[in-house]
Amino acid sequence: MMTQAHTIRVLLVDDHTVVRSGLSAFFLAFDDLELVGQAAGGEEAIRLCEQVQPDVILMDLVMPGMDGATATRRIRERWPQIHVIALTSFPDEDLVHKAIQAGATSYLLKNIEPDELEAAIRAAAAGRPTLAPEATRALINATGRPAPPGYDLTPREREILALMVQGLTNPEMAAKLDLSISTIKFHVSSVLAKLGVAGRTEAVSLALQHNLVK
């Protein structure tokens, strides 16, 4: 449960010291995200949950001793109010299933952008899931259904697609987003490739047909 000041208390669990150090520095940029503890493994994470009562846990999955999925399951069984974000380097389908089945709220890869991690932590604290595209693909593959168009677009690419729907040119997008034209061109090309279309007109049509943008 979050404190009265609405500070989100976060526990970091990872067996790599360098990873913990890097993520620790991340929290210094936010007044309302508080790193309340660090653990190098699943057993230590459970002990710390008893002591610090975090709102959100950033949980590595592949660790010696008790792995992240097992720790997640035990924590969620004992403290269901604690939300776990599986944060791993591996987009392995089996890991995705184990983490979600264990009760993880979200599944993210460690190459996530800082602003995306911040948003995922805030979402998890409110009980809202965030899934990396690789995790979404794994869950879709498990059901045997084809992936929906645009499932793997990043937040920035969805923003670019929304501006394409509005009819903005590359220079207009660059001015609006304060990005270089070359960066805009890169994002536009990535959007077209991920949607499997040849041009903007097809991309806009697909976006409207499948409600890919707001």
Among 48, 47, 39, 32, CA closest to 14: 39
Element (H, E) at 12: strand 8-13
Percent of the chain exceeding pLDDT 70 equals 94
Shortest CA distance to 58 belongs to which of 43, 37, 80?
37
Residues 107-131: pLDDT tens digits?
999 888 899 999 999 999 998 888 8
Per-residue confidence band for 194, with pLDDT thresholds at 50, 70 and 90 = confident
CA distance 149 to 207: 8
- Looking at domain 155-209, its CATH architecture is Orthogonal Bundle (1.10)
- Give the count of beta carbons closer than 10 Å to the beta carbon of residue 174: 17
pLDDT surpasses 50 at 4:
no
Q: What own/partner pairs with CB < 8 Å and gap ≥ 24 does 152-156 have?
A: 152/194, 153/191, 153/194, 153/195, 153/212, 155/116, 156/187
Q: How is the chain split into domains, by residue range?
A: 8-143, 155-209
Torsion angle defined by CA atoms of residues 142, 144, 150 and 154, in that order, rounded to the nearest 10 degrees? 10
Percent of the chain whose predicted confidence (pLDDT) is above 90: 57
Whether the pTM exceeds 0.75: the reply is no
- Amino acid sitting at position 139: L
56, β-bridge pairs: 10, 83
158 vs 205: CA distance, rounded Å: 14
Q: If you classify domain 8-143 with CATH, what class do you get?
A: alpha beta
* Confidence grade of residue 94 (pLDDT, cut at 50, 70, 90): confident
